Structure 1
Amino acid sequence: MRSFILGILTLAYPALIYLGMSHFQPRWLALLLVAMALTRALLTKDKIWLIAASGAALLAVISFMSNQLMPLKLYPVLINAVLCAAFALTLAYPPSAIERLARLREPDLPESGILYTRRVTQVWCGFFIFNGCAALITAFWSDAAWAIYNGLIAYLLMGALFLGEWIIRQRIRAAYD
């Protein structure tokens, strides 16, 4: 249940921050990020997510102490950096992130599947770099632009990447069979 709530809060984070700006000072909004960081730290056993939780807590402390919104707006940048690092590490230390997911459904993945999943993992790394840069740029634009990009457009782009990869995978599988 806590994982589900954390997922919802993470997805809704840009909207919650944007809506909260007109009612609360940034230092009080930072408490949301602290709560998310603590929950993530308690739920995870993976070091990379402990690092993310630590980074989120640091951003929250900076925001609380300075009463500035910018550290809170940098949270999506942090998440993209952590995801990119997590995926990139699996390229250096196989199996790749996508191969691990693929093997849940198809344990005897052929060599062509391993190469394909490696390429998809690289594409996701590129996406996280692009998305993190866009999140950083929007942090310096208007608050509304930041909320719209990080709370809507980024999710639409992620969905488009999932859908596009699924379509390509179906075509490759059909050609392979």
Structure 2
Amino acid sequence: MRFLAILATTLATGLALAWPLTVWWLQGALGPWPLLLIGCGLIAWRLPQARGLAVVAAIVLLAVGLVVDAELGMRGYPVAVNAVLLATFALSLWRGMPVVERLARIKEPELPARGVAYTRRVTQAWCLFFVINGTLAAWTALYADLAAWSLYNGVISYALIALMFTGEWCCRRRLQRSAP
């Protein structure tokens, strides 16, 4: 049983990460409605830390599909993911511990005050990233053809995420070396 759960989680994670490319590949064969429903399920299931927000995002995508256009609801998946992540990171700045600080404390439970301030700034930087990336994802959903939407949301946005992680890692290393 445990093997099946691990397999299902691995497959769902892979599908979620490859969603824009999967849509590009299957949209002609399946049409937008089945893909919209699968995408909504993926959002609600794969973002357990923000389950309430993720369910709201899935409902919004379904509403867009019903009221406006199923393909637009389907293409809204990356917008919804960015919105849920933005809300999660932004809310953590006002309530409790910022997301990046929580992650940092896994490795360094006794994080110094300088590290706490740094993790707050990094959480703010990720919020800005999600605003920009979500805006670009929305623009591609509204105005780009399916190939361009898939390219941005399935390739370019991941490259930008990798750049963000790399840039933050370089800054952190430099800050750690200059620490007393």
Find the partner of 1:133 among 135, 138, 142: 135
Question: Match for 1:172: what amino acid?
Answer: L
| Distance across 1 between alignment mates of 2:179 and 2:86 | 30
- How far has the Cα of 1:66 moved from its partner? 7.1
Could you say which residue in structure 2 is the equivalent of 1:98?
100
2: distance between equivalents of 1:37 and 1:134?
A: 19
The alpha carbon displacement at 1:39 in A equals: 3.5
Letter of the 1:156 counterpart: A
TM-score by length of 1: 0.88
Matched with 2:70 is 68
* In the alignment, structure 1 residue 164 sits paired with structure 2 residue 167: yes
TM-score, normalised by the number of residues in structure 2: 0.86
Q: Secondary structure at the match of 1:99?
A: helix
Provide closer, same or farther for how the CA distance between residues 91 and 39 of structure 1 changes in structure 2, counting only shifts above 3 A: closer
Q: 1:30 aligns with which of 32, 36, 43?
A: 36
- Give the residue type in structure 2 aligned to 1:84: L
Deviation track 1:62-121 (CA, whole Å, cap 9, x = no partner) reads 537876311110111111011001001111123111000000000110000000000000
What do you get for the CA RMSD once the two structures are aligned? Answer: 2.1
> Identity, % of aligned pairs?
37
The separation in 2 between residues aligned to 1:24 and 1:67, in whole angstroms, is 15
* The one of 88, 106, 116 aligned to 1:86: 88
SS in 2 for 1:94: coil
Query: What are the Cα deviations for residues 105-148 of structure 1, in whole angstroms up to 9, with x where unaligned?
Result: 00110000000000000000000000000000011211111100
Cα deviation 1:3-60 (Å, max 9, x = unaligned) = 333221110110111111221221222232244246448xx3x4x3233134224524
* Equivalent position of 1:6 in the other structure: 12
Unmatched runs of 5 consecutive residues or more in structure 1: none
TM-superposed deviation, 1:169 = 0.5
Q: Partner letter of residue 120 of structure 1? A: V
2:121 — aligned with what? 119
Structure 1 outlier segments of 4+, above 3 Å: 37-41, 60-67
